[in-house]
A and B are shown apart, each in its own frame.
Chain A
Amino acid sequence: MPADDIERTASEWLARLDRADDASVRAEFDAWYAADHRHQVAFLRLQQTWSRLDRLAALRPRLENERAQPSLEVNRWMARGPAWRWLAAGIAIATLTTGIALFVPGSGGWEIHSTNTGGFERIPLQDGSILELNTQTEVAVELSARTRIVRLIRGEANFKVAHDARRPFIDGR
């Protein structure tokens, strides 16, 4: 069995055991695991990754905390790779409770982008900026000749801002 197939099978076992670790599944798994040394190597490697991913749970209080208070922060970093033309980019972690949203749908040239629970969208804008919407997020965007306004209605969004000195990028909260 080629290595890729072994890895795939190992990952399927991991997910299956995560779903239901009952006796019959376990017995079948044990047989597969014992059958080949390579199965063990592949499974243990993926299991290690799986365990490391538990660290993501540490993000939860912060996400929930930030969700609770209306704030918008932008964290700038320099371009990561030569292919990226960003002079500046921002991380915005922002939350507005729906009641605070002042935006009225349908006015002017606003474009609405949204995600459902668990969703994630990467949206390239016309000016070259990229919006990344995390779960349950809604943003309104207006690109005009003079300004670029992004208004976060709810949720969390990451803005990678394309540099354009003539058109400032505005948090239109």
Chain B
Amino acid sequence: MLASLPNRCGAVLRLRKIFGYTQKEIATELGISEHTVEKQLARAVRLCAQFLLAQPAGGALGGRPQLTSARPGNRHDAGR
């Protein structure tokens, strides 16, 4: 789901929700205005709500293969 967000939008949401930054801290970290952070978060929550709505029940967060969803028990050594 995160990977489906536009770049800056996803970055802002990651910092807010995974790393617990405040909006102000995100603005400082990314060198953008707080106003922009606020707008991007608003957009992120709309897109996520639409995404979740389109998902079958239960499969919500991380339903799509993505960086952050390592799946224990189904791992292989890389190309060796």
Contacts and interface: CB of A to CB of B under 8 A. Distances in A.
Interface stretch (A31-39, A72-80, A96-104): A72-80
Contacts of A93: 67-68, 70
A119 B45 contact: no
A74 B78 CA distance: 5
Contacts of B60: 52
Interface in B21-71: 23-24, 26, 29-30, 34, 37-39, 41-43, 45-46, 48-49, 52, 60-61, 64-71
Contact of A56 (B17, B37, B70, B76): B17
A73 B7 contact: no
Nearest to A59: B68
Interface in A36-73: 45-46, 49-50, 52-57, 59-60, 62-63, 66, 72-73
Q: Would you call the interface of chain B mostly helix, strand, loop, or mixed?
A: helix
- Which size class do B's interface residues fall under? 35 or more
A157 B66 CA distance: 9
Contacts of A118: 11-12, 14-15, 26, 29-30
Interface of A: 7-8, 11-12, 14-16, 18-19, 45-46, 49-50, 52-57, 59-60, 62-63, 66, 72-77, 80, 89-94, 117-122, 132, 134-135, 156-158, 168-171, 173
